[in-house]
Amino acid sequence: MTGIGIIGSGAIASVHVDSYKRYASDCQVKAVCDTFKAKADDLIANKALNAKAYDDYKRLLSDPAVDAVSVCLPPSAHAQISIDALKAGKHVIVEKPMASSLEECDLMIEASRDSGKILAVVSQNRYKTPVAKLKKMLDQGAVGKVLYASFDSLWWRGQVYYDLWWRGTWAQESGGCFMSHAVHYIDLMHYLFGMPAAVKASIHNVGHDNSECEDLGFADFDYKDKVIHFTCSLVSHGERQSIIVEGEKGTLSVPWAVSANKALPNGFPEEDGAGKKALEETYRAIPDLASEGHDAQLGNFLKAIRGEEPIALDGRAGKKTIELIMGIYKSAVTGKPVEFPLKPGDSFYCKESMIALMPRFHEKKKSVDNFSSSTITLGRDLGR
C-alpha cells in the first residue's frame, strides 16, 4: 500500500485525490499540505480522507506514512519542493509545467537519479483515446510521410483569471499561455513527432491587462522534413483545440476526422474512398484506452513505484517540453529562429537570465490569495 502526500490543496489537487481514490486497494492519501492549512483541512473533509493536514511541506516530507507525493503547487515552487521530496526519499509526480527553467529541470533529474526515486511529470492528455490512436497510426506510418501538422491550443480565460497571486507573472507562473496551457500540446508534439531542429515564434498580449506574460502566440517548428505550426491563445471563445496531421496518404485529426485525396489528371483532388476507408478501419481496430487522463497517468505512477511497469513520462520527457517553450520565448524576444538543443550557458537556460529578457506586457496590479470558486475546466476532451 503506497502512502500518498498531496502538496498544494488547490484546484488540481482534488483531481489527483479523485484518481488516487480509484486505486484504493493500492494506495491511500495519508497527508495533505497547504500554506493555507484550512485548504488542506477542507480537501480532507470534502474527499473524506483519513489523512493528516500540514501547513509546512517539510513536515509532510518527514512523515514516514508518505512514500510518494503529488506536487500540485504554482509552477515556481515545483523544482525546489520536488527536489526536497526526492532527497527525503519520496517518489514524485509533479504537475505541469515541470519547472520554470531548464536548469531547474536538470537539478530535478539529478535529484531523482541520486535518490533512486521516481520523478514523473503530469501530461494527462497523452492518455486520451484519440491521441493514443493517432500515436499508433503515426508509428505505423498509416499516412505515409508527414508533411505538415498544426496544433491549435485555443483556450479562453476571463480577466479575473490573472488576479490569483501567482498567475500572470514571469517569476511565479513562469510564462503565459505557452507555459500554462499549450504545455499540454507541446508535450504531445514531441511525443508524436520527436524534437524539432529549430523554432521561429512570436508572443503577444491582446486581452489580459493584469498579466506580464503572453495570452497569444504563434510558433513554427522546423523538423527539416516537415513543419509544425502552433497557435496558442487564451482569447478563443469555445476553446476549439485540435491536432491536424497532413500526410502523403491522408489527413488525420484530433478530434477524430480523416480525409484522403488522390489526384485527377490535372492535379486537382478527388476523394480517395478506398484510402479513407482503410484509415478509418485502422483507427477503429485500435482499442480504446481502458483508463484516461489523470486516472491513467497516476495509475502508471503507482505501478512504476511497485516496479510493475516503467514510468511513462519521466523528468527527461518533461524537460523536453520546457526546452521547446524556452526556444519559443527566445525566438520571440530575439526575432530570430532558435536551434535546439538549448544548453547550459544559454540565457534561456536559467530562470533569472530568461526573465530579465522577457517583455512585461502589463504590470500586474491586482492580486488575490484565493478565489471563492475552485471549479476549473481541464480543456476539451480531445475528441472522445
Ligand X SMILES: NC(=O)c1ccc[n+]([C@@H]2O[C@H](COP(=O)([O-])OP(=O)(O)OC[C@H]3O[C@@H](n4cnc5c(N)ncnc54)[C@H](O)[C@@H]3O)[C@@H](O)[C@H]2O)c1
| Site of interaction with ligand X (CB under 6 A) | 7-13, 33-36, 39, 57, 72-75, 77, 95-96, 122, 124, 164, 180, 376, 378
How far apart are alpha carbons 275 and 93 in whole angstroms? Answer: 42
Nearest to 310, CA basis, from 301, 298, 318:
301
**Cβ closest to ligand X, residue 34 vs residue 103:** 34
Cβ 138 to ligand X, closest distance in Å? 23
**Cβ closest to ligand X, residue 36 vs residue 113:** 36
DSSP 112-136: HHHHT--EEE--GGGGSHHHHHHHH
Cβ 174 to ligand X, closest distance in Å? 9
**Cβ closest to ligand X, residue 212 vs residue 338:** 212
How far apart are alpha carbons 33 and 36 in whole angstroms? Answer: 8
How far apart are alpha carbons 143 and 222 in whole angstroms? Answer: 20
Cβ 7 to ligand X, closest distance in Å? 6
Residue nearest to ligand X (CB): 10
Residues 6+ apart with CB under 8 A from 268: none
Cβ 95 to ligand X, closest distance in Å? 4
Cβ 371 to ligand X, closest distance in Å? 8
**Cβ closest to ligand X, residue 26 vs residue 55:** 55
How far apart are alpha carbons 1 and 330 in whole angstroms? Answer: 45
Please return the burial class of 266, using the count of CB atoms within 10 Å of its CB with bins 0-12, 13-18 and 19+. Answer: exposed
DSSP 154-215: E-B--GGGGGBTTTT-TTTT-SSHHHHTTHHHHHHHHHHH---SEEEEEEE-SS-TT-SS-S
**Cβ closest to ligand X, residue 74 vs residue 196:** 74
Cβ 305 to ligand X, closest distance in Å? 20
Cβ 91 to ligand X, closest distance in Å? 18
**Cβ closest to ligand X, residue 39 vs residue 330:** 39
**Cβ closest to ligand X, residue 249 vs residue 380:** 380
Q: Is residue 254 within a helix (H) or strand (E), and if so which, with residue range? A: strand 251-254
DSSP 207-247: S-TT-SS-SEEEEEEE-SS-EEEEEEESB-TT---EEEEEE
**Cβ closest to ligand X, residue 9 vs residue 169:** 9
**Cβ closest to ligand X, residue 188 vs residue 260:** 188
Nearest to 358, CA basis, from 312, 325, 383:
325
Cβ 293 to ligand X, closest distance in Å? 8
How far apart are alpha carbons 66 and 68 in whole angstroms? Answer: 6
User: Per the structure block, which three cell numbers stand in for 294?
Assistant: 489523470
**Cβ closest to ligand X, residue 15 vs residue 279:** 15
How far apart are alpha carbons 302 and 91 in whole angstroms? Answer: 10
C-beta atoms surrounding 126 within 10 Å: 23
Cβ 130 to ligand X, closest distance in Å? 17
What is the residue whose three cell numbers read 478506398?
A: 274
Cβ 343 to ligand X, closest distance in Å? 26
